[in-house]
Amino acid sequence: MNIALIAHDKKKDDIVKIAGAYKLILSKHKLYATGTTGKRIMDETGLDIHRFKSGPLGGDQQIGAYISDNKMDLVIFIRDPLTSQAHEPDISALLRLCDVYEIPLATNMGSAEVLLRGLDAGFYQWRDMTRGTDRDTLHF
């Protein structure tokens, strides 16, 4: 699976903790991250990560493009709900794309842990079934 890892500045320590705690699970998948977040995770966990640009410089939009092209399967975006973000429209667009394309999305430590445990248990196999398929034609 392709997994995006994103975190606001005040939440970078949290996403590094999550990545470290779930390193064995994450290492089995293709990881993507926005610039600074990806560097921190790589430096502190040794995980291999494809880095996009920093979020405010277009990284959120690059990940959004992967979502709309059906190239992203899960997004972990540890957000800081108490700090205003200059690129809030980009963030909102990314979250909206996750909903439109039914991409599992974690926005805090608790939901990230649940998604990663579900990933480890094999609960997201439906993503493989729908890749390259018009989801409206599938019946579960």
Say whether 12 counts as a known binding-site residue: yes
Token pair belonging to 7: 């975190």
Say whether 54 counts as a known binding-site residue: yes
Q: What is the DSSP letter of 4?
A: E
- H or E element: which one contains 109? helix 109-121
Q: Which residues are part of the catalytic machinery?
A: 60
Token pair belonging to 70: 């059906």
Say whether 87 counts as a known binding-site residue: yes
Say whether 29 counts as a known binding-site residue: no
Say whether 35 counts as a known binding-site residue: yes
- H or E element: which one contains 105? strand 105-106
Which residues participate in the annotated binding site for substrate? Answer: 8, 12, 34-37, 54-55, 87
Which residues participate in the annotated binding site? Answer: 8, 12, 34-37, 54-55, 87
